[in-house]
Structure 1
Amino acid sequence: MKKVLIMPDSYKGTLSAIQICDIMKECILEHFPKCETIAIPIADGGEGTVDSFLYAMNAEKIMVETTNALGEPILTYYAKVKDTAIIEMACAAGLPQVEGRLNPRRATTYGVGTIIQHAIEHNCKHIILGLGGSCTNDGGIGAALALGTIFYNQKDEPFIPCADTMTEIKYIDNRVTKRLLSGCKVTAMCDIKNPLYGPNGAAYIFSPQKGADPETVKLLDQNLIALSEVIKTSFQKDVSNIPGAGAAGGFGAGVIAFFNGTLTSGIDTILDLIQFETLLENADMIFTGEGRIDRQSLGGKVVIGIGERAKQKQIPVIVIAGSVADNIKEAYHMGISAIFSINQQAMDFSQSRYFSDINLRHTMDNLLRFYKTISCQ
């Protein structure tokens, strides 16, 4: 074994993608000391995305003062690679920052817009925005406000709307934001297909985990409908049924409407940025994984995204997962060569989670011993 790529997602609740990379790399070098190992922790837009780029690409860590979803001052950071900024929405509008104080009617993405503005002012021409882990449902209007968009109420007066007051918006003036973003491309990493509103939209599917009770869910959905209509009249854009528009409390729609941005697969965005096909040259194998591989994994997330692109170059892809569900045979037709669970004993996750480190080491050790044995024959 001369060259291996290590590209896992996290095992949520147990090991980060960076920890998994380090463990896999140690095991590989123990058995194949001269093997070239390229470790790239993967986070496809959610928590850990920026740290993954800082680890894998020697990106520059840019500190920035902004505000969280409740308007409180915070210090956070984004990653910069040449003229590209990688920003996590969750770093300024994430659930952990307002734990115990969730309020989707008031939570704002304003702080995310402040970070985008900082990146533009520091000569970034491509903004890559991860939409995972948000606590907001404001359709991105907070971020738009931070970038100069003006919202007018029914009295033709400028005002500051939030998720609770979208029905008061009469029209939107986006000219300042357009000038600010001229010459700048905005790409949002988005792996969900939910529309902006309706039974499968942002409010009904995601706002309950952000603190919304049934009455609030209904209100937020109606407000997103109102926002969609005013976007249509102000910009001649219909964002209501665009797949992914409902991501991050409707921020998917906001990226398209306010920033003229695009929604793309998180894993494909990352693979393009790291020049995956170039990394594949002369590779013997790829190790990837996630906390649980199941039917949802087959929908184009990290493992399958890697598998499908590696398949074109006929590079084997080994999945090391926390657990493995039934009915995933399709994965073997999507570039995956083999799938293994790290669990060594039959035990509930509440117990096994504390052994994830050692179980991963045991699994890698056994696989590498087997590979060494058959490669010597």
Structure 2
Amino acid sequence: MTNQRVPMYPRDGGGSFKLPSTKEGAIQRMVHLGDFMEVYTPEESFKVQTPESVDPARTNANAMWVVAKVADVGSASPIVARTIIQAHDILRDRMVLKDDARIAVHKLMHKIKNSLLQCELAQDIYLESEHKAGDLFSSTDQPANEKAYKNFPVVPAIDEKITNFLTPARRVVTDVLQVPGFFWDLKRQHSTLDNLITKELIPLLGRDHRMVDFFTSIVPDISRIVNFRNGQEHVSTTKGTPLVIRNFFLLPTNEVHVPIWNLEDEQPTSIVDELPIMLNNLLIFAETMLIACIESNLPDFPPMLMQQIEVPKPLCPVKYQLVVDASKFQLRTNKT
């Protein structure tokens, strides 16, 4: 009995393709995500699929490649660099996770990256809208005898703009909490950081472990994001305290106050000031969760060290790298 050979098709031959780029910049990383790759230049991202991914059953001898631009943001973005690219770089040696789990983590970090980019876009749209309305009002001459201000500032569709930020922000939190499940056999998946710490991390690592200590310290920041989203989404139920959003408003002194938000019965804060803080907290949360899980599961040999990069490269500003811990090696010298 002879083995049947797989026929060679035109699609199996050599060839080349060019990324449909509209900006200058060399490829910085190519990250395998299962049935496709994502390719990053400093300012753009591209999806690449082989004929084998498009047609694994080999029904079309002339199956084509897919090469498409998917985003006008690339490896120079801290969000892209410190999520999916950093995960790819640190896990590529397969010392911590083998192929299937490694690709699964890549996919999860890719999803988190996309949600963070949605947050960033929503933030930028909101900031531009508030600044535009405020600048127009500030530059308008107000006659002394008028009973109402001209061009009184308003952020159009302010609730919708806030929703467009908080919805992917909540999704980031949910997805980041799934990361430890790839490194430990957890009892269950958790929807809050506090539950993950108390029910999983403390029993696994101990209350004094620095991973436990760090994530305990940021529980208020992450919980605030979740509570804000719950306050919007569940305003008609008893699940969440309502989120109060106020557009520009006039004070009794005739001063105009900037838009603010707060959970009912809490002190309000400036929306334009807090959105960038929330986004940065989410990025740190996502990045540190993966780094901490990897660091807590490094093999005894070869001895490895998670090292912070002192000066990240502008074209791809990853923040951490995994290096050999030379201090753990003992060199023998010949005795004379």
Q: Same fold (TM over 0.5)?
A: no
Structure having the higher strand fraction is 1
CA radius of gyration, larger in: 2
Q: If the length of structure 1 is used for normalisation, what is the TM-score? A: 0.28
